[in-house]
Copies of this chain bind each other. A is one copy, B any other.
Amino acid sequence: MPFTYDYPRPALAVDCVVFGLRESSLVVLLVRRGVPPFEGSWALPGGFVRLDETLDRAAERELVEESGLKVAYLEQLYTFSALDRDPRERVVSVAYFALVNPVEHRPQAGSDAASAAWFDVREAPALAFDHRHILQVALERLRSKVRYRPIGFGLLPERFSLTQLQRAYEIILDRPLDKRNFRKKIAALGFVVPTDALEEGVGRRAARLFRFDRAVYAALSEKGFDLELI
């Protein structure tokens, strides 16, 4: 049954950029499209928004349907409206992004997706629509944001060594950091706190494990303290 309106309007879609850290790489979740257009091409998980759901819910739903992935929090990134981004008709897409620990999430394709997998962001295949552009914008937002919000912690396990933490930032920022300066800044922040646990090490002194103290961070950010990490 067709849907009729007095005024034309574009179709509205969501797309999800989900990043993770795997070994020494930043990876992104992609799906291989099982339906036209761009059938057989890789793309960001996503789809059209239903009339009875918000954009946040649409993003969560499409991600679960197409990859099996359920994330704690999807953040709205940007709304893309280039006139020719979709060959079918005018489609405006609201992109979301999230950070997860990929070891915990084995993608399970479904719905419009024929398969789903993690790709190193530097080695992503050709993508459908304007998804390469969306991915690039997401990467820039991640790199910019990681400097002043503790979002890097979403990519790490609950307990991590300072070396692991530094490595995570170096992988995200794609540049080396000075170890001493990094540790000085981390210590000054106040919300990266030591635990009783030690990392298992072979042939070297075992490293102390740390954790991100959300309560301390919340209190500090409310007071407007200088929270720049890098």
Q: Which residues of A contact B (CB under 8 A)?
A: 2-12, 48-49, 51-56, 76, 78-79, 81-83, 90, 92, 94, 147-148, 173, 175, 224, 226, 228, 230
Contacts and interface: CB of A to CB of B under 8 A. Distances in A.
A94 B93 CA distance: 11
Given A94-B79, A148-B148, A9 B12 contact: yes
Contacts of A173: 224
A52 B54 CA distance: 25
Contact of A4 (B2, B76, B147): B2
Nearest to A80: B55
A9 B6 contact: no
A7 B12 contact: no
Contact of A2 (B6, B78, B90, B226): B6
10 contacts: A3-B5, A5-B5, A51-B90, A52-B83, A54-B83, A56-B81, A76-B79, A173-B224, A224-B230, A226-B228
A78 B81 contact: no
B148 A49 contact: no
A92 B228 contact: no
